[in-house]
Structure 1
Amino acid sequence: MAAAGFRVSPFRKLLNKIADNLTDRDMTTLKFLCEDKIPKAILSGISDGKAMFAELLSRRVILDGDLTALEDLLQECNREDLVYLLEKFREETVDRRQAPSNGEHQAAGMAPRRGGGTAAVVGSMSELHRSILRDHRATLVSDMHTRHVLPYLLATGILTDRLEAEIINTGGSRQAMNEALLQVLPTRGDQAFRELCTALRTGSQQNYLADALEQAENSAQGLDR
């Protein structure tokens, strides 16, 4: 019988959440990747993600204090949505240990912490900015590093927790998350376009994407005058 007041650690909760979202294909990939880590006789008896993670924990392949191995496994499964959950957990763990001010975050080139700053103006995006996003859609879907862009957009109020969750739960791949984000942004006002450019520079370090969007904006505005 479980002891009274037993609490599951945040790391175990994370593992359970990830395990619940693994597909049969993910499990096949994980078993292949773990053939050199878990004896074949044991591996063949593992039927779900929770059992897999329990075995990897017991063998110290994945550790609470070191998420690198788990991140590598999830990336091999092409589960960008689960990698994003892992990175959020890592950032929240750091925040709990040392919580710098918003100014310190911005000075370091990071997104301000959630809840800080001025709420973004939300509304219909102008046709100019919608058109620019449409014209660059293929490149953004292919290249944008969603997991580095979303935290900034969430912190600046462009995205809500609900919208972030909907984007994460769109199918697992980075491209699917990018598609979902580009569907949401036009509903979040012109500020969303500007914050996306900032997120591409300071969050994902993809200056070439931000440059392309801003140059298209400047060219269009020049033609309008």
Structure 2
Amino acid sequence: MTDRLLDRIISGEFPEGSTLPPESLLAEQSGASRLTVREAVRVLSSQHVLRAVQGRGTYVNPVARWTSLDAVVRLQRGDASNVIAQLVEVRAMIEVGAAELFATRLTEAELSALHQDVEQMRTAHARTDVDAFVRADLAFHDRILDGCGNPFVPATFLPISRALRDARTRTSSVAQIREHAIVEHSSIIEALETGSAEAAGSAMRSHLVQTRDDARRYLSAAGPESA
């Protein structure tokens, strides 16, 4: 019921600033109990999609106030390339700085693990194993986030992890994007090996710009259905 109500909001049936119909009417329209409707409203209110005003009703909040990343992603699901490009912009705000910190703390064990991740990406690419490729890709980035020496960094990144996994599955389904990712990840390792925070940050930014541009190029060309 929560997803159905959210879909009605996203479709514009209940636009921003509008008041939801009474629970009894929502229940009748959906064929659900009032208790089920009440729980759906409670969940969406906890995500700030809805706002209850005592004595006046329940209103649809502006999207800028929504705190559910899944809801925001669903709002824009018709344009996969745009969603991925926006997620990459958020990643850059966090991961470029994380790479800069990581460069000054990198151990031999962590460096070896990063090389292994890239090797696993190469193997998965050769086998067209998208799931294995995504796992190795995520592991690579997680090592940098976890190893940057600031526990607030991975904690801040956590809320977008689910959406990011879905986005990487979409992008990694394209062979050219996998090839570019392998090259960019190798460049990040080379930059990290120098111990230069500036070089590491620059390499990470290059990778994320490449990911954004590839999403726009290949996923827009394929269309949302085949993305």
Q: TM-score, normalised by structure 1?
A: 0.29
Greater relative contact order, per chain length (Cα 8 Å cut-off, separation 6+): 2
Q: TM-score, normalised by structure 2?
A: 0.29
Q: Which structure's residues are more often helix, by fraction?
A: 2
